[in-house]
A and B are shown apart, each in its own frame.
Chain A
Amino acid sequence: MFIKVNPEKCVGCEACLSACPYDAITMEGGVAVIGELCQACRACLTVCPEGAIVESGKAEATVDAGASGIMVFAEQRHGCLAGVAIELLGAARKIAGQIASRRGATCSVSAVLLGGGRDAADELICFGADRVYHATGPELDAFHDEACAEMLARAIDAAKPEIVLAGATAIGRSFLPRVAARLRTGLTADCTSLEMDENGVNLLQVRPAWGGNIMASILTPSRRPQMATVRPKVMKPIERVEGRQGEIINLPSDGLVVRAKVVEFIKEVTMNVNIAESDVIVAGGRGVGQKGFEMLFELAGLLGGAVGASRAAVDEGWISYGHQVGQTGKTVCPKLYIACGISGAVQHLVGMQSSDVIVAINKNPDAPIFNVATYGIVGDVAEVVPMLIRKLKESA
C-alpha cells in the first residue's frame, strides 16, 4: 500500500470514506483503514481534516538531464493542418516561457509534421515553431499508427525533448500511447490545462476524470519526455508572425512497417458539422424535443452559428453524434453558447464551460446549467426560443 492512515492522528470522522472513488477505505475500531482496492488516486489526502493520511513509497526521480525543449506533434489530415496543432504551438511557447523564467533554461519549440507539404511546415514556423521535423512518404499519406509511432519516436530520438504534446484527437489518442510505451514513459490523456510547476521542472497536466466529476493534476516526475494529449480548443494559439525564422529538417522515412493498412477513407457529411470551429452555438437537450430542433436551427441561422446537442438529445436520435458537446462529444469554446433544455450535467459542462458567454434557457430554476450561465432565463424553450427569434428578427 502506498497511501496510509496514521492511526494516531485519525479521529474517525469518515470524511475519506465518501471521498474515495474506489470504495477502498473502511472503518476498523474507529480508525480509517485503506484496503487493497486503493488505486493511489490521493482523493482522500485532500479531504482529511487531520492530515492523517500520508503517502509512502513514491518513485525516486531520475530525470534525464539531457532532455530539453518542447516537441509538438503537428497533426495534418489530407494535407490540412489540424487547428489543434497551432493551438499546441501556442501552449508550447507559453510553457517554454515558464521554463525560461522559473528554471533559467533556454527552451526551444519543435514541431513534427508527418505528410503534408512544405507550406504546412512554413506555417508551423509562423505560428511559433523554432524547428520543424518534416517527413513524407506513402505510409504517411493516410493515418497509420505504426508509421506515425515510428516517425515520432525517431524525431524524439533526434531532438531529445523534455515534453511532447499532441492533440487529443482520434489520431493523437490512437498512436501516442504506442510511442509512450516504446519509450517507457508516462502519457496523460486528454488534458485541459498545462502548466510548469514552480521550479520549471515538472509539467502539471490537468485532465478531467470520473466522467468529468473531478479534475486530476498528473505529473511524470521520473521519466522524460513527459507526454500529454491535449483537447482541441482549450489552448490559445499565438499570433501568426509572417516571415518568422525557423529551420526545417527532413526526417528520413525509410523502412516503415505498416501491418494495419488503410485501404479507403470515407468522409461522413454529417460529421462535418464542425461545431468546434463555430463562434456561435445553439445547443439543445432533452428539454427541446425532436420538433424543437427545427427552431434551434432557425435561431442558429439568425446568429450565424451552428447547432450543438447534449448526449441525451443524441441518444434520443433527434440529431446526429457529430453535434454532441461534452466529455464523449466535442469540446467547444465559442464566443456565444446558448443551452436550451439542457440540465448541465458535468459531462456536458466540461465540453462547453470555457465559452465566452453562456446563455441558459431551462424551465427548472435549479438546473445546474444556471451555475455556469452568463445569462439565465427560467422558462419553456417552446415559448422562449420563438420569442427570441421574433425579437432578433424585429431588430434586424
Chain B
Amino acid sequence: MKIVVCVKQVPDTAEVKLDREKNTLIRDGVPSIINPYDRHAIEAALSIKEQAGGGTVTAISMGPPQAEAALREAIELGVDEGVLLTDRAFAGSDTLATSRALAAMISIISPDVIFCGKQAIDGDTAQVGPEVAEFLGIPHVAYVRKIVTVSDGAIRVERLMDDGYDVVDTSLPVLFTAVKELNTPRLPSLRGKMAAKKAVIKKITAADLSIPEGELGLSGSPTQVNRVFTPEARGGRKALSGSLEEQVSALAGELRAMSCA
C-alpha cells in the first residue's frame, strides 16, 4: 500500500493573543508546530500501512524551507520519507493554488490512499483536502472518524456529520481528511528519531512540477485577502448594582421582562 500524508507547518494559534490597543496579533515566541489535525492524519496513514502489512508512507508539505522541521518530525513518528515543495513561486498561494501544487506532486507518487487533516488551524478552511481530490480526479471522504475495514481495493470508513455519522465504502485511490476522534497519535520512537536525523528531505520546486507560473502562488490564487482587522468590541452593556443578592434579583427581573421566564 502506497500512502501519502499532507502535513502543514502552522504557528500555534492557541498561543496567539490579540493586542486590543494596537489592534495587532501578539505573536512573539509563538512556536511552529505540525497542524494538530495532520498528526491524526499521520497516525492513520501509519496504522493503515501496518494493517495492510507493508508499503510506504510519504509525508509531503508545501511551505518555506523551515517547514522541513515538520517533515522530520513526521519521520520521527514513523513516516518513511518527506518531500518539501518549496519555492518562492508558491508564496501567497490560496487553497486552489496549494491544492494544485500538492496534487501535481501526489500524482507523481501515485499513491493508493492520501490523508489530510480536516483543516489547518491557521486558515481553518478545510478546503485543501477535497480540492486535491478533485484535481486528482479521485473520490474523497471528509471528517473520517474511524477506519472500519481495509481490504484489497476498498476501504470502509465512518464519516462524522452534523447529525450523526455515515458509513462509507470507497474504492481506491481515495483521499481522506482526518478529525480528532479518528485516533490518538503515537509518540516518536527511538528508531524514528535516528531515522529523522539521517533522512534526506527531497526538495521540489515549481519547475519540477511543470505547472505554468501563472497557476501558482499569488497569481494562481483566485482569492485575495483584501483586509485583515480585529473583531469589533460589542457595546450596549447594562449595569447591575448592589449586593450580589440584589444584582441577581435585578437580573431575574430582566429575564422575566424578556418574557423568557
Contacts and interface: CB of A to CB of B under 8 A. Distances in A.
A binds B: yes
Interface of A: 1-2, 15, 18-23, 36-43, 46-47, 57-59, 77, 142-143, 145-146, 149, 169-171, 173-178, 180-182, 184-190, 204, 208-223, 258-268, 271-272, 279-280, 302-305, 327, 335-336, 346, 349-350, 353, 357-359, 371-377, 379, 383-384, 387-388, 391-392, 395-396
Contacts of A219: 223-224, 226
Interface in B13-62: 13-14, 16-19, 22-28, 30
B75 interface: no
Contact of B170 (A37, A259, A350): A259
A57 B66 CA distance: 25
Contacts of B25: 18-19, 21, 43, 210, 213-214
A177 B131 contact: yes
B198 interface: no
Nearest to B173: A259
B225 A143 contact: no
Contacts of B66: 37
Which of A188, A260, A395 has most chain B Cβ within 10 Å? A260
Contacts of B156: 263
Nearest to B125: A189
B197 interface: no
A42 B225 contact: yes
Contact of B223 (A18, A36, A220, A383): A220
Given A180-B131, A214-B231, 12 more contacts: A18-B19, A43-B228, A173-B126, A174-B130, A184-B222, A185-B222, A209-B123, A223-B222, A258-B139, A303-B260, A304-B260, A349-B231
Contacts of B133: 178
Given A181-B96, A392-B252, A215 B166 contact: no
B149 to A, nearest CB: 12
Contacts of B171: 259-260
A82 to B, nearest CB: 9
Contact of A217 (B169, B229, B245, B258): B229
Contact of B127 (A180, A215, A327, A371): A180
Given A46-B228, A59-B219, A377-B247, A187 B256 contact: no
A215 B228 contact: yes
B124 A19 contact: no
A305 to B, nearest CB: 8
Interface string B226-252: 111111011011101000110111011
A387 B24 contact: no
B68 interface: no
A258 B141 CA distance: 12
B11 interface: yes
Nearest to A373: B237
Contacts of B160: 170
A271 B164 CA distance: 7
A292 B31 CA distance: 35
B50 to A, nearest CB: 23
Contacts of A176: 127
A46 B227 contact: yes
Nearest to A214: B228
B188 interface: no
A216 to B, nearest CB: 5
19 contacts: A2-B91, A18-B28, A21-B11, A37-B66, A46-B229, A174-B142, A178-B130, A180-B96, A187-B223, A190-B125, A209-B123, A210-B25, A215-B228, A222-B222, A259-B171, A304-B260, A335-B260, A379-B247, A383-B244
Contacts of B226: 42, 204, 216-219
A282 to B, nearest CB: 11
Which of B64, B92, B163 has most chain A Cβ within 10 Å? B163
Nearest to A189: B125
B211 interface: no
B135 A181 contact: yes
A260 B140 contact: yes
Contact of B92 (A39, A174, A182, A396): A39
Contacts of A58: 218, 224
Given A260-B168, A264-B166, A392-B252, A184 B228 contact: no
Contact of A210 (B16, B126, B258): B16
Nearest to A396: B261
A346 B20 CA distance: 12
Which of A42, A204, A210, A266 has most chain B Cβ within 10 Å? A210
B52 to A, nearest CB: 19
B258 A391 contact: no
Interface in B120-149: 121-131, 133-135, 138-143
A178 B134 contact: yes
B139 A146 contact: yes
Given A40-B225, A177-B130, A219-B224, A353 B234 contact: yes
B75 to A, nearest CB: 23
B164 A374 contact: no
Contacts of B247: 377, 379
Contact of A221 (B131, B165, B224, B255): B224
Contacts of A327: 124
Contacts of B251: 359, 375, 377, 388
B252 A388 contact: yes
Which of B23, B133, B160 has most chain A Cβ within 10 Å? B133
B229 A215 contact: yes
A303 B255 contact: yes
A377 B174 contact: no
A20 B167 CA distance: 42
B27 to A, nearest CB: 6
B122 A21 contact: yes
Contacts of B92: 2, 38-40
